[in-house]
């Protein structure tokens, strides 16, 4: 279910081609990465899977926010 949600978000951004949509998704991804990192540290569950999730979400968020550079 969660995969379909994120696929839908990405497809919507691609369909709209709106800088605002990419910005919202980028900020949401970066916040999710930060919350995952804080949660992992607070729960003492820093594992390779959690670190991979933080890195993946942070990279995706950064890529989505780079849409500011290509705005016309």
Q: Which of 22, 15, 29, 34 is closest to 65 using CA atoms?
A: 22
Instruction: Tell me the pLDDT band of 24, cut-offs 50, 70 and 90.
Output: confident
29-41-5 Cα angle (round to 5): 25
pLDDT tens, residue by residue, 42-57? 999 889 999 998 999 9
Domains of the chain by residue range? 2-68
Is residue 10 pLDDT above 90, yes or no? no
- pTM exceeding 0.85: no
């Amino acid at each position: 279910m969660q995969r379909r949600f994120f696929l839908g978000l990405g497809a919507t951004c691609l369909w709209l081609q709106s800088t605002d949509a990419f910005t919202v998704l980028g900020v949401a991804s970066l916040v999710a990465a930060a919350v995952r990192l804080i949660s992992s540290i607070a729960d003492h569950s820093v594992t390779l899977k959690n670190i991979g999730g933080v890195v993946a979400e942070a990279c995706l968020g950064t890529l989505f926010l780079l849409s500011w550079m290509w705005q016309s």
